[in-house]
Structure 1
Amino acid sequence: MLKIKLSQNIPNPLQLNIECMPGELHALVGPSGSGKTTALRTIAGLNHAESGKIECDGELWFEANDVSGITTSLSPAERSCGFLFQQYALFPHLTALENVCIPLYNSVANLAERKAQAQQWLDRMGIGELAERMPNQLSGGQQQRVALARALARSPKILLLDEPFSAVDAPTRQGLYKTLAELRKNLNIPILLVTHDLREADLLADRITVIDQGVGLQTAPPQVLFEKPRNSRVAELVGISNMFEGVFNAGKLTWNESSRVFNVADKGKIPPNTAVAWVIPAGGLSLHAAPSSETIEATVEQISTLGQVAVIQLRTLEGSHAILWEASAAEVKRLALEVGKISYVQIDGNKIHIMPLRPINDPRRFTN
Structure 2
Amino acid sequence: MLKVKLSQTTPNPLQLSLECLSGELHALVGPSGSGKTTALRTIAGLNHAHTGSIECNGELWFEANEINGASTSLSPAERSCGFLFQQYALFPHLSALDNVCIALHNSVAGLTERQAQASQWLNRMGIGELANRMPNQLSGGQQQRVALARALARSPKVLLLDEPFSAIDAPTRQGLYKTLAELRKDLNIPILLVTHDLREADLLADRITVIDQGVGLQTAPPQVLFKRPRNPRVAELVGISNKFEGVFTAGKLSWDRCDRVFEVLDKGKIPANTPVAWVIPADGLSLHQQPSASSIEAYVEQISALGQIAVIQLLLNNAAHTLTWEASAAEVKRLELEVGKNTHVQIDGSKIHIMPLRPINDPRRFTS
TM-score scaled by length of structure 2: 0.99
- 1:106 match: secondary structure: coil
Are the aligned partners of 1:303 and 1:311 in contact in 2 as well (CA < 8 Å)? Answer: yes
Deviations 1:286-315 (A, max 9, x none): 001011111001100011122221111100
Are the aligned partners of 1:36 and 1:211 in contact in 2 as well (CA < 8 Å)? Answer: yes
- Match of residue 89 from structure 2: 89
> What is the distance in 2 between the residues matched to 1:121 and 1:359?
52
The within-5 A match list for 1:168-317 is 168-317=168-317
Deviations 1:179-201 (A, max 9, x none): 10010011000000000000000
The within-5 A match list for 1:64-213 is 64-213=64-213
- Per mean C-alpha deviation after superposition, the further-off stretch among 104-113 and 352-361 is 352-361
> What is the distance in 2 between the residues matched to 1:196 and 1:171?
18
> What is the distance in 1 between the residues matched to 2:45 and 2:57?
16
- 2:87 match: secondary structure: coil
- Per mean C-alpha deviation after superposition, the further-off stretch among 308-317 and 133-142 is 308-317
> What is the distance in 2 between the residues matched to 1:319 and 1:94?
62
> What is the distance in 2 between the residues matched to 1:167 and 1:290?
47
> What is the distance in 2 between the residues matched to 1:277 and 1:33?
26
> What is the distance in 2 between the residues matched to 1:177 and 1:314?
36
Residue 319 of structure 1, CA deviation: 5.6
> What is the distance in 2 between the residues matched to 1:352 and 1:174?
34
Are the aligned partners of 1:233 and 1:360 in contact in 2 as well (CA < 8 Å)? Answer: no
Deviations 1:272-294 (A, max 9, x none): 11110000000000001011111
> What is the distance in 2 between the residues matched to 1:130 and 1:307?
37
Matched, 1:30 2:62: no
Deviations 1:191-220 (A, max 9, x none): 000000000000000000000000000000
Residue 365 of structure 1, CA deviation: 1.1
Are the aligned partners of 1:233 and 1:359 in contact in 2 as well (CA < 8 Å)? Answer: no
Deviations 1:16-35 (A, max 9, x none): 00000011000000000000
- 1:63 match: secondary structure: strand
> What is the distance in 2 between the residues matched to 1:334 and 1:303?
14
- 1:104 match: secondary structure: coil
Residue 271 of structure 1, CA deviation: 1.0
- Per mean C-alpha deviation after superposition, the further-off stretch among 352-361 and 176-185 is 352-361
> What is the distance in 2 between the residues matched to 1:196 and 1:361?
25
Letter of the 1:90 counterpart: L
> What is the distance in 1 between the residues matched to 2:187 and 2:317?
56
> What is the distance in 1 between the residues matched to 2:143 and 2:306?
33
TM-score scaled by length of structure 1: 0.99
Are the aligned partners of 2:258 and 2:317 in contact in 1 as well (CA < 8 Å)? Answer: no
CA RMSD of aligned residues (A): 0.8
Deviations 1:108-150 (A, max 9, x none): 1111000000000000000001111111111110000000000
> What is the distance in 2 between the residues matched to 1:284 and 1:296?
14
Are the aligned partners of 2:35 and 2:214 in contact in 1 as well (CA < 8 Å)? Answer: yes
- 1:165 match: secondary structure: coil
- 2:283 match: secondary structure: helix
- 1:7 match: secondary structure: strand
Matched, 1:9 2:9: yes
> What is the distance in 1 between the residues matched to 2:317 and 2:278?
19
> What is the distance in 2 between the residues matched to 1:2 and 1:360?
33
Are the aligned partners of 1:296 and 1:344 in contact in 2 as well (CA < 8 Å)? Answer: yes
Deviations 1:81-113 (A, max 9, x none): 000000000001111111001111111111100
